[in-house]
Amino acid sequence: MAKKFLQRLGLKDKLLAIIVPLLVLTAWQGAVSQKLCSELILTPPLTLLKTLLELAQSGDLTLNILASLKRVMIGFLFGGTSGFVVGILMALSPFLNRIFGPLIKALQQVPEFAWMPLIIMFLGIDEFAKYFFVAIGAFYPMVLNTYQGVSGVPEKYHELARVFEYKSFRYLFKVIIPSALPSIITGIRLSLGLSWMFVVGAELFGSDSGVGYLMTWGRSVFQIDLVMAGLILVGVIGFAMNFLLERAEKQFFLWREPVEGRHA
Amino acid sequence: MSDNKGTLEIRNLSKSFIVDNNPLQILNNISLSVSSGAFVTIVGSSGCGKTTLLRIMLGLENHYTGEALIDGKQIIGPGTDRGIVFQDHRLLPWLTVGENVAFGLDKLKQKEKKFLVDEHLKLVGLNGFESAYPYQLSGGMAQRVAIARALANKPEILLLDEPLGALDALTRMYMQQELERLWLLEKITMIMVTHDIDEAIYLSDKVVIMSSRPGVIKKIIDVQLSRPRDRASSDFMRIKAEILQEFHLGTEYPFAYAI
């Protein structure tokens, strides 16, 4: 009984998740077509769809998305990997933790975009500067989550590793990292999410390609539909990346007890 | 092990921890000798240092005075000559049953590994479960896997730290039979810590009784009953009464007559 009810509730939730945005879009479209609001200020959804289709046809869409994704991947690989390594080192060495811990906590208080002037001064606005900016965004979630995961490896697993004489890299790769993996994967997901936000930010500051560039260009030629289409792209791509990673996470953790059967 | 391997000798061993800057004596002048292939149980109330003593044998605790020798050699850290089964099964949740059993066999070739895993899963009656994950097992099954993992390394001595303590009463008695069967089959030394007196009498050649603060060996009782043992026999009960006496739990008038 209760299970059936929950299933129905789940279905209802899913329907609501589709219906509510549809209602908003319809109201939006209606508001413009009823002349409640100028089309120049609030581009209606159907026009936005047309703009996106035109961008796709001309090839601009793919080109700019790929340009942004390339920056995300390079920045994320660079920042995420260093965050991963620093996180592990900090968790395993109290000495390194004492050195890097306060520094990272202090730097974390600096808003990400406050780095921009400094980066532009030293690195200019070319590709490398963008990679660097994205890398900073990717670094923090990775270092924090890796640190948390590795320092949270239960003592009983450390003991088991000692009993079975696991040392150095074997110990790291067979016991510590697998045990910390749930936390590390969360780090990857957050890190990639922030990378995507920061690549758009970096492109807004000065760029000749990318989704952020599409929006600044739209603004400079006063094409609001381009700006809004860019916004939609940012949202949809970010959502898709998160969705795919969540799916991958589930596949990956088959060994985790399913939630229904979890005992306290 | 026929060639007298798996002997343990502990001589005048004392250990203390520092608590609030004061030394707290955990073990005081422990001497114990376990011969090759024996089943020895250490019983005592919680806090008597029996687990610490087992951890010393395992090589996880250092800094003690006195001697702890295995086959005449000082124990320095853990080693593959000793296997351990903890109270919690301590299987790694991200590994399958088969991979857990193979955990200590990392250095072997794939083929030898598979052979040993199959052999030991069959030994504990879990063949066919190698690709299951630990969360899918019951407590008794998980502990069997833990035993298979410890035995797969072919240790000379198997140390058991209250291995059946977390199981329900019936499963526990069944697992005691299983342990006895494995012990008779493998012919290795087994040293078990428990607080279950019936379990100790059912399984051991020797029951070591410890008392607490500081942990000392109060008495060592030889159990010379034939196997398999009858938990309800009068001899069994007599030994049980003798052990209970040591814990001041014996009845003063063992027979009560109702008139």
- Dump the DSSP string for B224-238: ---SS--TTSHHHHH
- Residue numbers in A near B78 (CB within 8 A): 162-165
pLDDT of residue A166: 92
Q: Do B60 and A261 touch (CB under 8 A)?
A: no
For chain B, the residues whose C-beta falls within 8 A of a C-beta of chain A are: 58, 60, 77-80, 84, 86, 88, 90, 92-96, 103-104, 106, 133-135, 153
Give backbone dihedrals phi and psi of A56, rounded to 5 degrees, phi first. -65, -40
Task: Kindly state the average pLDDT of the residues B211-238.
Answer: 88
The whole-number pLDDT of residue B83 equals 93
Name the nearest CA neighbour of B16 among B51, B59, B49: B49
Q: In what order do the strands lie in the sheet with B8-19?
A: B22-34, B8-19, B65-70, B73-74
Task: Decide which of B252 and B85 is more confident.
Answer: B85
DSSP H helices in chain B: 50-58, 97-101, 110-123, 139-152, 169-186, 197-203, 234-246
Q: Which of A170, A192, A182 is nearest to A79 (CA)?
A: A192
B78/A165 Cβ within 8 A: yes
A180 touching chain B per CB within 8 A: no
**Size of the A and B interface in Cβ pairs below 8 Å:** 47
Nearest C-alpha of chain A: how many angstroms from B217?
A: 26
Of the ranges A78-92, B154-168, B220-234, which is most confident? A78-92
Q: Residues in chain A, how many?
A: 264
Contacts of B60 in chain A (CB under 8 A): 159, 162-163
Q: Return the pLDDT at A25.
A: 85
Residue B8 token pair: 């343990």
Name the residue facing A255 among B80, B88, B94 (closest C-beta): B94
| Two tokens, residue A129 | 């500067």
CB contact under 8 A, A174 and B106: yes
pLDDT tens-digit map of B89-100: 999 999 999 999
Going by C-alpha positions, the residue among A82, A109, A101, A80 that lies closest to residue A194 is A80
Out of A156, A164, A179, name the one closest to residue B103 (CB).
A164
Q: Which of the pair, B192 or B165, is modelled with greater confidence?
A: B192
Q: How confident is the model at residue B190 (pLDDT cuts 50, 70, 90)?
A: very high
Q: Check residue B259 and give its pLDDT.
A: 55
Q: Rg (Cα) of chain B, in Å, rounded?
A: 19
pLDDT at B97: 95
Q: Taking CA atoms, what residue in B is nearest to A178?
A: B94
Query: Which residues from chain B sit within 8 angstroms of residue A257, using beta carbons?
Result: 93, 135
A22 vs B: CB within 8 A: no
From A145's Cα to the closest Cα of chain B, the distance in A is 19
Q: What is the mean pLDDT of residues B6-21?
A: 88
Interface test with A, best of B82, B103, B137, B138 (most A CBs within 10 A): B103
Cβ proximity of B48 and B247 under 8 Å: no
Nearest chain A Cα distance for residue B11, angstroms = 23
Question: pLDDT tens, position by position, for chain A (264 residues)?
Answer: 556 665 666 677 778 888 888 898 888 888 888 887 777 777 888 888 888 898 889 988 899 999 999 999 999 999 999 999 999 999 999 999 998 889 988 888 888 888 888 888 888 888 899 999 999 999 999 999 999 999 999 999 999 999 999 988 999 999 999 999 989 999 999 999 999 999 988 888 888 889 888 888 888 888 888 888 888 899 999 999 999 888 888 877 767 665 544 443
What's the distance, CA A39 to chain centroid? 33
Record: contact A255-B133, CB cut-off 8 A = yes
Query: Which residues of B are less than 8 Å from A156 in CB distance?
Result: 86, 88, 90
Tell if the CB–CB gap between A162 and B135 is shorter than 8 Å.
no
Name every chain B residue with its beta carbon within 8 A of the beta carbon of A170: 106
B158: phi then psi, degrees, rounded to nearest 5? -105, 120
Residues in chain B: 259
Chain A: closest CA distance from residue B59 (Å): 8
Check if A237 contacts B (Cβ < 8 Å): no
Q: Considering only CB atoms, which chain B residues are within 8 Å of A264? A: none
Smallest Cβ–Cβ distance between B90 and the set A156, A165, A256 belongs to: A156
pLDDT for A148: 94
A222: left (phi over 0), alpha (psi -120 to 50) or beta: left
CB count, 10 Å around CB of A177? 17
| Residue at token pair 């600096």 | A110
Cis peptide before B228 (omega within 30 of 0): yes
| Locus of tokens 């995420």 | A80
Pairwise CA distance, residues A40 & A44, whole Å: 9
Burial of A192 (0-12, 13-18, 19+ CB in 10 A): buried
| Cα distance between residue B51 and residue A7, in whole Å | 49
Give mean pLDDT, residues B210-230: 87
Q: Do B94 and A178 touch (CB under 8 A)?
A: yes
Residue A19 has what pLDDT? Answer: 87
Answer yes or no: do B92 and A164 touch at CB < 8 A: no
How far apart are the CA of B19 and the nearest CA of chain A, in angstroms? 21
Cα dihedral B193→B199→B200→B203 (10° resolution): -110
Q: Does A173 touch chain B (CB under 8 A)?
A: no
Q: Per the CB < 8 Å rule, is B84 touching A170?
A: no
Do B106 and A170 count as a contact with CB atoms less than 8 A apart?
A: yes
Q: Which domains does chain A have, with CATH numbers?
A: 44-255 (1.10.3720.10)
CB spacing of A179 vs B92 below 8 angstroms: yes
Å between A155 CA and nearest CA of chain B? 11
Mean pLDDT of B19-47: 89
Which pLDDT score, from 0 to 100, does residue A77 have? 96
Contact B135 A179 (CB under 8 A): no
